[in-house]
């Protein structure tokens, strides 16, 4: 297809940027040249993650958000952004529309791929006659849920086992998307608007892809999952020390605990997780994030009581390298979609503790695939130390862990075997949309 040029615009969150970067690498392997457009603070994160071999095919474009007093430049990303400022970030992003118009006019890309949260950018591309494709950075199961509620409100959702329980939680995502002023113009959907890339694979949620395609309204195209050979990033001394510590642990003995890049545990949740880990008796690595200005701390004396049994990482951990390590036997995760896919890739059973947004649905999807146990909350919906400890013990100590691991390894093999074929599908759709444009002019 020659060196066609694609501009990409991800939403400003690591959880969105990571799959965009993944797609950029996959497309660059297929001969495309990619420009990723984002705020400088996000670009510095992206830059670190681009392996040397892509230096001539993946480029970065700075998008400068306006100077709003309540949104200083270090808030030009959702990571560490207080939740009440998310709307302001959306507002600031929309204000870049003229600048983005200029960027596309200058770059004149052949094609544009944008985050479904940033529908306004597709309008800009369309005004310049640049064909585009939307990317929904999570899975088709979640997309089918929102699709159903937009297009068939009031009708029963066809997959009740997966969703009913999590309706309220998922609604929160719905509201965030609504607040982003995503206007779904049901009457003006063209054939090409129906294509949606999703960050998933047929082996994981194929039945939801089939459901969506069967509606005739959404043509879902999975990009497949990430290949770990592209996992880069320099290890500092703390990371090296951590991996050496992990080396001394026995196979599948240790749980990795992380709630992603955006969620901060409350004081009570911090207590429950810490006590749950203590009670479980398992070895662990726990990534702990503290929000500036909040009085949340680890329980008094926790580190001393734990000693060599556990490692606390404050801030950022080399997650993929940790998950890849044979000593890891379980992943206590919030079920952010990237973390979930990484768990699949490295064959690590999931101990699911979803917090918000799409996470409860991701957790259910993984339980449905037989690769996760869900940690029940107490009668008030709060985390509970005893339940946390019990589930960790099941996965680390008894055959539950072995059974989950077998299924996880199978799932990993299946997604790997579909990787190239699924990317063929993505390239075919891009080609189709390019041809459509050519024929129309
Ligand atoms: N991540 C990491 N180190 C950390 C925390 C997160 O490398 O200490 C990475 C993780 O590997 C994943 C991404 O950040 O790729 C988090 O994305 P996810 O969708 O799981 O959760 P979110 O951060 O969006 O809630």
Distance 261 CA to ligand 1 centre (A): 5
What number is the average pLDDT over the span 220-225?
96
Distance 316 CA to ligand 1 centre (A): 9
Catalytic member of 35, 75, 110, 115: 115
What number is the average pLDDT over the span 134-150?
87
What number is the average pLDDT over the span 126-142?
93
Q: Which DSSP category does 32 fall into?
A: -
DSSP bridge pairs for 304: none
Confidence band for 156, pLDDT divided at 50, 70 and 90: confident
Q: What is the pLDDT of residues 181-210, one digit of tens each?
A: 444 455 556 777 889 999 999 999 999 999
Supply the residue whose CA is at minimum distance from atom 7 of ligand 1: 319
The pair of structure tokens assigned to 239 is 């990371």
Q: What per-residue confidence (pLDDT) applies to 2?
A: 56
115 carries an active-site annotation: yes
Q: What is the pLDDT of residues 18-47, one digit of tens each?
A: 999 999 999 999 999 999 999 999 999 899
Ligand 1 pocket test: pick from 86, 338, 363 the residue with the most ligand atoms within 8 Å of its Cβ: 338
Q: What per-residue confidence (pLDDT) applies to 180?
A: 47
d(CA 363, CA 351): 9
Q: Which of 11, 46, 22, 79 is nearest to 261 (CA)?
A: 79
Distance 185 CA to ligand 1 centre (A): 33
Supply the residue whose CA is at minimum distance from atom 11 of ligand 1: 319
Residue by residue, DSSP assigns 172-232 as HHHHHHHHTT----GGG--TGGGEEEES--HHHHHHHHHHHHHTTS-EEEE-----GGG--
Q: Which DSSP category does 364 fall into?
A: H
Decide if pLDDT at 179 tops 50: no
Sheet containing strand 132-136, edge to edge, reads 58-62, 33-38, 5-9, 111-115, 132-136, 195-198, 219-222
In sequence order, what are the residues at sequence separation of 6 or more whose Cβ sits closer than 8 angstroms to the Cβ of residue 152?
none
Whether residue 223 contacts residue 23, with contact meaning beta carbons closer than 8 Å, is answered with: yes
Q: Which atom of ligand 1 lies at the shortest distance from residue 313's CA?
A: 8
Supply the residue whose CA is at minimum distance from atom 3 of ligand 1: 317
Confidence band for 86, pLDDT divided at 50, 70 and 90: confident
Place of tokens 């004149």: 108
In sequence order, what are the residues at sequence separation of 6 or more whose Cβ sits closer than 8 angstroms to the Cβ of residue 424?
none
In percent, how much of the chain has pLDDT > 70? 91
16 carries an active-site annotation: yes
């Amino acid at each position: 297809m020659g060196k066609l040029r694609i501009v990409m615009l991800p939403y400003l969150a690591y959880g969105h940027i990571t799959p965009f970067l993944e797609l950029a690498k996959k497309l660059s392997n297929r001969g495309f040249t990619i420009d990723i457009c984002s705020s400088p603070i996000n670009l510095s994160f992206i830059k670190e993650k681009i392996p040397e071999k892509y230096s001539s095919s993946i480029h970065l474009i700075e998008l400068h958000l306006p100077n709003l007093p309540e949104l200083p430049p270090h808030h030009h990303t959702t990571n560490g952004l207080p939740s009440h400022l998310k709307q302001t970030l959306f507002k600031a992003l929309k204000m870049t529309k003229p600048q983005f118009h200029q960027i596309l006019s200058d770059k004149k890309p052949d094609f544009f791929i944008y985050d479904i949260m940033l529908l306004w950018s597709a309008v800009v591309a369309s005004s310049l006659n640049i064909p585009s494709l939307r990317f929904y950075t999570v899975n088709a199961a979640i997309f089918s849920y929102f699709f159903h509620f937009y297009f068939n409100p009031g009708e029963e959702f066809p997959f009740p086992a997966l969703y009913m329980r999590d309706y309220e939680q998922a609604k929160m995502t719905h509201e965030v998307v609504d607040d982003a002023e995503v206007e779904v113009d049901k009457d003006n959907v063209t054939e090409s608007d129906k294509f949606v890339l999703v960050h998933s694979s047929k082996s994981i949620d194929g039945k939801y892809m089939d459901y969506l395609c069967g509606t005739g309204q959404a043509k879902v195209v999975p990009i497949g999952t990430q290949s770990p050979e592209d996992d880069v990033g320099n290890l500092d001394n703390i990371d090296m020390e951590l991996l050496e510590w992990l080396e001394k642990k026995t196979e599948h003995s240790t749980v990795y605990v992380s709630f992603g890049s955006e969620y901060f545990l409350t004081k009570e949740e911090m207590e429950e997780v810490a006590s749950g880990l203590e009670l479980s008796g398992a070895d662990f690595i726990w990534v702990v994030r503290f929000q500036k200005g909040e009085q949340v701390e680890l329980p008094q004396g926790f580190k001393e009581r734990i000693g060599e049994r556990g490692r606390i990482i404050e801030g950022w951990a080399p997650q993929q390298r940790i998950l890849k390590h044979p000593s890891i036997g379980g992943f206590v995760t919030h079920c952010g979609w990237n973390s979930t896919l990484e768990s699949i890739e490295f064959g690590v059973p999931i101990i699911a503790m979803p917090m918000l947004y799409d996470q409860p649905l991701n957790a259910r999807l993984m339980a449905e695939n037989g690769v996760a146990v869900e940690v029940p909350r107490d009668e008030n919906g709060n985390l509970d130390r005893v339940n946390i400890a019990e589930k960790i013990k099941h996965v680390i100590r008894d055959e539950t862990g072995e059974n989950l691991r077998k299924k996880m390894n199978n799932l990993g093999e299946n997604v790997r075997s579909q990787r190239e074929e699924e990317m063929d599908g993505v390239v075919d759709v891009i080609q189709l949309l390019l041809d459509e444009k050519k024929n129309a002019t």
